[in-house]
Copies of this chain bind each other. A is one copy, B any other.
C-alpha cells in the first residue's frame, strides 16, 4: 500500500526530520516545507529530503500522497485550513502531536471530504530539537500510538501501521483520543511536571559533586522546550491538573505517614510501588 507514495513533511524539526530520514531509507519520495531556511538547506544538503521549500508551495503540497505535520499543536489546525485547497485529492494527512483532543476533532471537522486525517503520536524524542539532530534510531525503542475516530477508514489505520513498521517502531497500538490524552497526562506530562518541580524546588547547583544516578534519572527530562511543552500542557489541562492532584494527594499521604511515624503504612507503600514497578521492567 505504501510503495510508490510520496510524502510531504510540514515542519522539519527533530521528529519531522527523523521521519524524513526513515522514509528515505525505504526509497520514498520525501518533500518538506519549513519556514526555517537553514532547516530546508541542511536537509537538502544531507539527502534527508528530495525537495523542500520555505514557502507555501502549492505545487509541492499538491504532489504529496501523504502529508505528515510536524508542526507545533497551535499551528497545525490553521495550516490545514489555509492549505487544504492545494491537497491532492485522496491525500492522507497525519501528525505527531503529543495531545490529541485539541487537534483530531478540529481537523476532521474542517478537512475536505476527499481527504482523510488520522492522528498519530510517535512517543519518541530527544532533549534537543531541530532537523540537525534528527535520527530515525529514536523510533526503534519507541511506541507509535494511532488514535482513529469513527470518521477514519480501516485503510488509513493500516497505512499508518505500515509507515510505523517501516520507521522501525517496536510497538504500534491504537487508543481513542480520550484514552490517549488521559494516558499521556499520567505517563508523560505528569513525569515532566515532577522533573521540572524537583529541579526547581532547590537551587542545588552546589550539590553536583554529591549527585547519584537517582537524581540524574529523575531530572533528565527537566531540560525541556518551554514553547512546545507549554502548548501541550495547556491543550491537556484538565487531564494534567487531575493527574497532578492525584500525585500530590499520594505524596502528601506519604509525608503524613512519615511525620506521625506510621511504619506500617510506609512499608505498605514501598511494597505496593515495588510490585507495580516490576510490571514495567523491560
A-to-B contact residues, CB < 8 Å: 123-124, 141-143, 145, 171, 173, 175, 183, 186-188, 190-205, 207-227, 229-230, 233-234, 237, 240-241, 243-252, 254-255, 258-259, 261, 263, 266-267, 269-274, 276-280, 282
Chain B CB count within 10 A is highest, among A123, A203, A210, A241, for A210
B259 engages A241 (CB within 8 Å): yes
> Which one, B215, B226, B237, contacts A258 given CB within 8 A?
B237
Query: Considering the chains assembled together, what is the distance between the CA atoms of A208 and B187 in angstroms?
Result: 10
Query: Considering the chains assembled together, what is the distance between the CA atoms of A277 and B255 in angstroms?
Result: 26
Q: Using CB atoms, name the residue of chain B closest to A276.
A: B199
A269 engages B200 (CB within 8 Å): yes
Known contacts: A196-B269, A270-B226. The answer to whether A279 contacts B247 by CB under 8 A is no
CB contacts (< 8 Å) of A261 on chain B: these are 234, 237
Known contacts: A143-B209, A212-B188, A251-B194. The answer to whether A276 contacts B226 by CB under 8 A is no
A144 to chain B, nearest CB (A): 10
Known contacts: A188-B212, A212-B123. The answer to whether A199 contacts B244 by CB under 8 A is no
